[in-house]
Structure 1
Amino acid sequence: MLIKANLLAVLQTFLALATLATADASIVNLGYAQYQGSVDTVTNTTSFLGIRYAAPPLGNLRWAAPQPPPTISGVQQATTQPNECYQAPLGNASTNPFENSSLSKRAVGQSEDCLFLNVYTPGSVVVASQSGGLPVVVYIHGGGYISGAASLYNGAELVVESNYGVIAVVLQYRLGLFGFLAGEAVKEGGALNGGLLDQNYALQWIQQYISLFGGDPTKVTIWGQSAGGGSVLQHVVAHGGNTQPPLFRAAMTSSMFLSSQYNYNDRIPEIMYSMVVNGTNCGSSSDTLSCVRAADINTLQTLNYNINLGGFYGTLTFVPVVDGSFIVERPTVTLSKGRLNGNSLLAVVNTHEGNILVDQSTTMGVPEFIGNIFPNFGSAQINGAAAMYQNLGSNVDQANLVMSESMFVCPTYYLLEAFEKKAWKAEFAISPGLHAMDIGEYFISYLTGPVFDNSQFITSFSNSFMAMVMFETPNHRYTPGDITPTWKKWRHDSTEMIFNKTSEGAPDVYTSQTDTDLLDRCTYWRNVSAYSVQ
C-alpha cells in the first residue's frame, strides 16, 4: 500500500528530516552545467534544486524571450531552493491563497534572476538507462501570475504518491510586471507574455534533458493550480492549438483561472504600460522600453507592487494577453474550434472558487460588481449576467457565484468540451471548499497541510492525478485501498467525481451529474466572452 496510516506523518516531517537524511546523488551533466542533487533516505527520493533552465532575464533581457542558460564550469550543488521571482499582492486584498503568505517560512529571496526549476526522482541514483524512462509530471505554480514559487511545492511528495512511478518537475517563471507587461512598445522591442514563454522554454528544456534524470520526454503531463491551471490552458491553445513538436501528452488543471485576456495593444494594457513608463520617468524618452529596461530594480518592484495592489478587489492587473504569435486569439475562440495541444485532460475545481476574490463585506450591487470585473461589458451584458443570479442568495452570495463561475468553473467546462471524450472532471467538496484548499491533499507539506487529514482520502485524491500522469487515465488503480469509484469521461454523460466527507468525518467519494442550470449559465458566459475578453 502506498499511503499507510503512518505515511502522512512521515511526509509532514519530511522538510525537517531532509537536511539530516541526505547522501551523495549522481551528477547530471547537462552540457552547459553539471548538477549534483541530494538523496533523502526517509522518502527514498533524490532532489535537484535550483537548476537554471534559461539565462537570467536581466538588463536587455528584461521583457525579452528567454535565452539559453550560460555555461558554468565545475559541479553545481543543487541542494538549496532557488530565489523566487519578484512577488506582488492581489488587488486590495489582505489575506488569500493567491498571496504568497508563506514567505516567512522559506529562506529564499526575491530576484529577477529566478528562471530555475526543481527535479525530483525516485531512489538514490538517477536511472538514465531505464527503458523508455518514467512518465514526467510538470507542476506550474499558481499565484495569480503575480506570486508563488517552486519552493512552496515539494515534488518528492508526488514521487512517493505515485509509488515511485514518476519524475516530478516544479518550475518558476517571471511574474507580474516582469513577466506580463504588455503594449505596442513591448511587442516591437521585446516579447509579450514573457512568463508564458518562460514556461514554454522550460517545457522545451524538459524535452531535451529529462531523460538524463530517468524521465521519458514522450510521456509528459503538465499540471497547474489557479493561474498555474490557467497557464496549462494557455499551453493547450498555444500556437492556435498546434505547437510543434508537441511538448506534452496530457494536461491537468486544478482550479483553472481565466481572467480577461486583452489584445496586447488594447486600452487597458496600454494604460498599464503608460503607468510603468510614467513611474520610471521615461515619458520623454524616444525609446520608452529601453528606458524602462534601464530602470532601477527597486523602482520597478515598487511599481509592480503598487499597480497590482491598486486594482479592484480580487482582480489581477498583469496577466496573459493575446500576443498574435504564441497566443493568437482569445482562448475560448481556439477551444471552440476544437484545436488544442495534448491528448487528454483531468480537470478539478473546488466548490466555492470565487469567494476569496470577493470582499465578503461588500454592499455593492451585483450589476455594479459585474461591471467592475468586466469593464468592457455594456448594460445588456451586465443585466443579462445579473439576471441569472438574482434569486441565488444575497448580493455577496451572487458575487461569489459570478466570480467563481465566470473565471474558474465555466472556463473549465469549455476546456472539457474541447477535449471531447478524452477528459475527466472532478470537484473537491471538503467544506468550506474554498480556492486552493485542495493543494494540501497532494502536496502534504504545503502551508498548513491537508484540510482533510485522512490517509484514505489522500490516497484516493492524489492517486487520481498520478494515475493520469502514468497511464493517461485517472481510472488506473495502482494502489490498494483506493476507494475512488469508476470514472466516466465527462463528455459522455456529464458525470463528475465528487471528493467529499460524511458528517461523521469519513471519506465520501462518489459520482454526480453536472448541474444543468450551471451549464446554462456557462453558455451565457461563453456567449458574451467577446466582451469579457476571455
Structure 2
Amino acid sequence: MPSTRDQLTRRQTSPAFLEYAMRLLQLRIGDLRWAAPRPPSIVSGVQQATTEPNECNQATVGISPTNPFESTFMRKRALTQSEDCLFLNVYTPGSEVVATPVGGLPVVVVIHGGGYAVGSASPLNGADLIIDSNHGVVVVLIQYRLGLFGMCLHCQLGFLPGKAVKEGGALNAGLLDQNYALQWVQTYISDFGGDPTKVTIWGESAGAGSVLQHMVAHGGNTQPPLFKTAMTSSTFLPSQYNYNDRIPEMLYSEVVNGTNCASSSDTLSCLRAADVNTLQTLNYNINVNGFFGTFVFVPVVDGTFIVERPTVTIGKGRLNGNHLLAVTNSHEGNLFVNQSTTLDVAAYVKTLFPNIGSIQAAGAATLYQNYGSNVDQANLVMGESIFVCPTYYLLPAFGERAWKGEFAIPAGLHGDDAPYYFTSLPGRAYNNSQFITAFSNSFLAMAMFETPDDRYTPGDITPSWSSWQYDLTEMMFNETSAGVPNIYTFKTDSALLERCAYWRAISAYSAQ
C-alpha cells in the first residue's frame, strides 16, 4: 500500500468497494496562491478517511439580464467549503473481480461539472460506475480549484486571468490541478489494480469542457500521454479569451479593486495576502452578476498549457487521446436562458458573446429566425453554440474512432442524463432498468473496450452503434409515449451541422 508517498487515506465503504482519498497538495497560507500544483508533503502510515473531503469554494451561475463585459444555481451541501480541497477519491472493485487482466483494469477518471465555479466529487459515487461495468473498472473522482479560488490550502484563483497572473503565478490553475491528478494516476493507479495505459477521462458539462481542454492541451500533443479515451457528456465551451485580452484584464481589475489592492505596487502579492472571506464574497458576487446562464471565471488561452483557441487546435485534427464518445442532451440551452427574455436573437447573440459584431449577429439571426419565439431561439443559440456544436467540432478529428449519442428522456435538459450512469444521484425521471443498462453500459463499454458497441451485459437492448464518421450516425436514447425504451440510430440533422459550421466560422469573434 503506497501510504507513505501521497498522503494516502483509506475507507472501507462496503465489502466489495474500497474508496481512497488522496491529498494532492499541501501549501502554506497565501504563499502559493495562483501557483501550479506541487506534490504534497510525505505523511507515513495509512490514514482513515471517514468523511468526504472538503469541496472547493463555490460560486454560482450568472443571473444578470445584461453582460457586464459588453463593450461599454448554487446548491448548499452539508460539506465544508474550503481552500484545502485538492483531493481525489479512488474506487476499486475489490474482491468482486474474478480475474484482473494483465496490467490491471481499465481506469475511468471523472471530472465533475459546474461551470468551473461550483461542484465537487462528493455527490458522485464511483461505486455506481463499478456496478455498471460489472466490476470491470477502477474509478477516480477528482476535485480542482474553482472560480476565483485556486490552490487549495489558502491559495486562490482557479481561473483568474490577466497578465499579472501569467507573470507571477499560474493561469488555468484548475486545469493544472486536473492535469496533476492525471499524472498521479499514471504513477500510482497500478497500486490500486488499474492499468495506466487504459485511462479514460470523462466529464459532464464543465467536466466535459475540461476533457476538451485536455484534448487540446499542449497543442494536442501532451507528452507522455495521460489518457487513451475521452468521453464528453454535454461539452461546455464558452468564450475562451487570451489571458491578457480586454475582458480577462477587466476581470483581474475587478478582483484587485474588490480587495483594495489597486494601490499596491504588486497587485498579485496583495491578492495573495487577502482575507479568504473577502475573496469568497467577491468570487460569489462577480459570478452572480454575470449575464444570465453564464459563468465568469473559465479557462483562458495561456500560451503554455492551452496554446491557442480550442477550435483552432481542433481544426488541425491532432488531439490528445485515441478514441471519443460524445453525448449531448436534446435541450442543452434552456436552463441557461432567462425564459422571460425579450431580447431578439441578434441582441441575445451580441450579449452572450460581447466581441461579436452586428454582422456576425445578423448572420446567426438568419439561421434561427424560423425556430419559434425569442426564447426558443435563445435556447437554441445557447445550447448549440456552447454545448452542442463544440461536440461536432471534435468528432471529425477522431475519424472512425468517434461515436456520438443523444440523451432525450423528457425534458432532455442539461444535466438530466447524470442520474442514469451515476445511479445514486436523485432526479431520475425514467426509472426503467433496460434503459439505464443500455445508456450506462455504452459509456463503460467505451472505457473497457474502446467502443460503445460492445454488449457486455446480457439483455442490453442498444442496437448496433457505428462510428459517427460512417453516414453521420448517432444513437438516440429516449422513451416512447407509452414509457417503453426507445433507443435507435439516426443521422445528424444537416441543418444543425449548417448552424454549427456558422458558429465555427465566427469562432474568432465568439472567442472559442
In the superposition, the TM-score normalised over structure 2's length comes to: 0.95
SS at match of 1:55: coil
Question: Are residue 482 (structure 1) and residue 460 (structure 2) matched?
Answer: yes
Question: Are residue 193 (structure 1) and residue 194 (structure 2) matched?
Answer: no
Q: Counterparts of 1:422 and 1:451 in 2: how far apart (Å)?
A: 32
Which residue of structure 2 lines up, in the alignment, with residue 153 of structure 1?
Answer: 124
Q: Counterparts of 2:253 and 2:64 in 1: how far apart (Å)?
A: 24
Contact 1:176 1:304 in 2 (8 A): yes
SS at match of 1:510: strand
Q: CA deviation at 1:421?
A: 1.5
Contact 2:7 2:44 in 1 (8 A): yes
Q: Counterparts of 2:407 and 2:29 in 1: how far apart (Å)?
A: 40
Question: Are residue 46 (structure 1) and residue 18 (structure 2) matched?
Answer: yes
For residues 48-87 of structure 1, what are the structure 2 equivalents within 5 Å?
48=20, 50-56=21-27, 58-87=29-58
Q: Counterparts of 1:519 and 1:423 in 2: how far apart (Å)?
A: 16
Question: Are residue 409 (structure 1) and residue 381 (structure 2) matched?
Answer: no
Q: Counterparts of 1:358 and 1:500 in 2: how far apart (Å)?
A: 24
Identity score, percent: 67
Question: Are residue 35 (structure 1) and residue 9 (structure 2) matched?
Answer: yes
Which residue of structure 2 lines up, in the alignment, with residue 123 of structure 1?
Answer: 94
For residues 143-222 of structure 1, what are the structure 2 equivalents within 5 Å?
143-178=114-149, 179-222=158-201
Q: Counterparts of 1:28 and 1:76 in 2: how far apart (Å)?
A: 11
Which residue of structure 1 lines up, in the alignment, with residue 335 of structure 2?
Answer: 356
Q: CA deviation at 1:491?
A: 1.4
- Classify 1:492/1:152 alpha carbon distance in 2 versus 1 (closer, same or farther; 3 Å): same
- Classify 1:35/1:125 alpha carbon distance in 2 versus 1 (closer, same or farther; 3 Å): farther
Which of 311, 325, 335 aligns to 2:304? It is: 325
Q: Counterparts of 1:388 and 1:438 in 2: how far apart (Å)?
A: 28
Which residue of structure 1 lines up, in the alignment, with residue 154 of structure 2?
Answer: none
Which of 430, 435, 443 aligns to 1:457? It is: 435
SS at match of 1:276: helix
Encode CA deviations 1:455-486: one digit per residue, 9 max, x unaligned.
11000000000000000000111100100011
Q: CA deviation at 1:156?
A: 0.6
Encode CA deviations 1:274-304: one digit per residue, 9 max, x unaligned.
0110111111111100000100000000010
Which residue of structure 1 lines up, in the alignment, with residue 283 of structure 2?
Answer: 304
Contact 1:127 1:214 in 2 (8 A): no
Q: Counterparts of 1:45 and 1:73 in 2: how far apart (Å)?
A: 24
Question: Are residue 492 (structure 1) and residue 465 (structure 2) matched?
Answer: no
Contact 2:10 2:19 in 1 (8 A): no
Q: Counterparts of 2:9 and 2:240 in 1: how far apart (Å)?
A: 38
Q: CA deviation at 1:124?
A: 4.6
Structure 2 residues without counterparts, runs of 5 or longer: 66-72, 150-157
Q: Counterparts of 1:92 and 1:32 in 2: how far apart (Å)?
A: 40
Q: Counterparts of 1:454 and 1:93 in 2: how far apart (Å)?
A: 39
Which residue of structure 1 lines up, in the alignment, with residue 152 of structure 2?
Answer: none
Which residue of structure 1 lines up, in the alignment, with residue 371 of structure 2?
Answer: 392
Q: Counterparts of 2:99 and 2:190 in 1: how far apart (Å)?
A: 6
| Greater CA drift, 72-81 or 173-182 | 72-81
Which residue of structure 1 lines up, in the alignment, with residue 153 of structure 2?
Answer: none
Give the partner amino acid of 1:497.
Answer: M
Q: Counterparts of 1:77 and 1:128 in 2: how far apart (Å)?
A: 28
Which residue of structure 1 lines up, in the alignment, with residue 69 of structure 2?
Answer: none
Which residue of structure 2 lines up, in the alignment, with residue 365 of structure 1?
Answer: 344
Question: Are residue 260 (structure 1) and residue 234 (structure 2) matched?
Answer: no
Q: CA deviation at 1:123?
A: 2.1
Give the partner amino acid of 1:407.
Answer: I
Which residue of structure 1 lines up, in the alignment, with residue 320 of structure 2?
Answer: 341
- Classify 1:203/1:254 alpha carbon distance in 2 versus 1 (closer, same or farther; 3 Å): same
Q: Counterparts of 1:247 and 1:93 in 2: how far apart (Å)?
A: 39
Structure 1 residues without counterparts, runs of 5 or longer: 1-26
Q: Counterparts of 1:462 and 1:327 in 2: how far apart (Å)?
A: 31
Contact 2:64 2:290 in 1 (8 A): no
Q: Counterparts of 2:438 and 2:6 in 1: how far apart (Å)?
A: 41
- Classify 1:58/1:485 alpha carbon distance in 2 versus 1 (closer, same or farther; 3 Å): farther
Q: Counterparts of 2:3 and 2:475 in 1: how far apart (Å)?
A: 43
Contact 1:426 1:496 in 2 (8 A): yes
Encode CA deviations 1:73-103: one digit per residue, 9 max, x unaligned.
3321123210000000100189xxxx342x3
Q: CA deviation at 1:32?
A: 3.9
Encode CA deviations 1:412-441: one digit per residue, 9 max, x unaligned.
000111112210000001111000000000
Q: Counterparts of 1:415 and 1:32 in 2: how far apart (Å)?
A: 35
For residues 265-284 of structure 1, what are the structure 2 equivalents within 5 Å?
265-284=244-263
Which residue of structure 2 lines up, in the alignment, with residue 379 of structure 1?
Answer: 358
SS at match of 1:119: strand
SS at match of 2:334: helix
Which residue of structure 2 lines up, in the alignment, with residue 90 of structure 1?
Answer: 61
Question: Are residue 111 (structure 1) and residue 89 (structure 2) matched?
Answer: no
Contact 1:28 1:36 in 2 (8 A): no
